[in-house]
């Protein structure tokens, strides 16, 4: 039996383009990005943090999102401003790209194995920002990337994207593998959640008639 194909995110005619450009400039960071939710997984990312670039590229690739990102931050001080602000801008772009969120599946769940590591991710594009983050103790660094900033990034993203995100590491030893499993798992869960289901026509996926 041939494997079941992945669902398409090709949007019906009643769904507007889900491609947006956002920017954020402050004394700490200068960030510009373009995000297309209905892309093919192309990524061109430069943040000054190689591991972070690697994670964002993997996120775009496995979510089938097209992402172009340029970020300049005060890395001589700390990586925190750059990582958190990228999360804020990417989350805001994600929310804007979804528009009224009509017809989307809304929920997504994915278990992502990465060698010995296993991440379980669930998302709800609910309009209500909330994050549950459960991981074992991580090593302090992956290359030049402070591992604790992965949680800060996803909390910033969820805040601005106005979604609920649950992340659990079920097993793992290598911090690189655990973080990569999280980024890829979030990508696949979001890819499910933003898919437009033609059976829903133009309806908002809530019995309340709105998402908030």
Mind listing the pLDDT tens digit for each residue in 97-138?
999 888 899 999 999 999 999 999 999 999 999 999 999 999
In a domain, 6, yes or no: no
Q: How far apart are CA 35 and CA 157, in angstroms?
A: 13
Q: Model confidence over 20-36: pLDDT tens digits?
A: 999 999 999 999 999 99
Examine residue 156 and state whether it is found in any structural domain, yes or no.
yes
How many domains would you assign to the chain?
A: 1
More confident residue, 210 or 43: 43
**Res 127: pLDDT:** 93
Q: What is the mean pLDDT of residues 148-165?
A: 98
Range of the domain at 103: 19-200
Spatial strand order of the sheet with 29-36 comes to: 19-25, 29-36, 66-73, 43-46
pLDDT digits 0-9 by tens, 79-93 = 999 999 999 999 999
**pTM score of the predicted model:** 0.91
3-state SS string for the chain: CCCCCCCCCCCCCCCCCCEEEEEEECCCEEEEEEEECCCCCCEEEECCCHHHHHHHHHHHHHHCCEEEEEEEECCCCCCHHHHHHHHHHHHHHHHHHHCCCCCECCEEEEEEEECCEEEEEEEECCCCCEEEEECCCCCCEECCEECCHHHHHHHHHHHHHCCEEEEEEEECCCHHHHHHHHHHHHHHHHHHHHCECHHHCCCCCCCCCCCC
Q: How high is the pLDDT of residue 6?
A: 45
The C-alpha atoms of residue 184 and residue 187 are separated, in whole angstroms, by 5
pLDDT given for residue 190 in this prediction? 98
Q: What is the pLDDT of residues 170-188, one digit of tens each?
A: 999 999 999 999 999 999 9
Query: What's the CATH code of the domain at 111?
Result: 3.30.230.40
Residue 212 domain-assigned (yes or no)? no
In a domain, 23, yes or no: yes
| Confidence label for 15 from pLDDT (cuts 50, 70 and 90) | low
Residue 131 Cα distances to 48, 94, 153, angstroms: 27, 16, 11
Instruction: Tell me whether residue 164 is in a domain.
Output: yes
Structural domain includes residue 173:
yes
The answer to whether position 85 is within a domain reads yes
Residue 29 lies in a domain: yes
């Amino acid at each position: 039996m041939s494997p079941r194909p992945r669902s398409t995110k090709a949007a019906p005619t009643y769904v507007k383009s889900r491609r947006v450009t956002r920017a954020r400039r402050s004394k700490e960071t200068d960030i510009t990005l373009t995000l297309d939710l209905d892309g093919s997984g192309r990524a061109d990312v430069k943040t000054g943090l190689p591991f972070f670039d690697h994670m964002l590229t993997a996120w775009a690739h496995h979510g089938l999102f097209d992402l172009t990102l340029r970020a300049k931050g005060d890395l001589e001080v700390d990586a925190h401003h750059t990582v958190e602000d990228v999360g804020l801008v990417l989350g805001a772009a994600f929310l804007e790209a979804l528009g009224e969120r009509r017809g989307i599946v809304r929920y997504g769940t994915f278990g992502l194995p990465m060698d010995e590591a296993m991440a379980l991710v669930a998302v709800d594009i609910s309009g209500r920002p909330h994050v549950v983050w459960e991981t074992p103790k991580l090593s302090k660094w992956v290359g030049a990337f402070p591992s604790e900033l992965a949680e800060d990034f996803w909390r910033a993203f969820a805040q601005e994207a106005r979604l609920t995100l649950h992340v659990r590491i079920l097993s793992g030893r290598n911090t690189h593998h655990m973080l990569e499993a999280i980024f890829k798992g979030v990508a696949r869960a979001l890819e499910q959640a933003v898919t437009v289901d033609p059976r829903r026509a133009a309806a908002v996926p809530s019995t309340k008639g709105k998402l908030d």
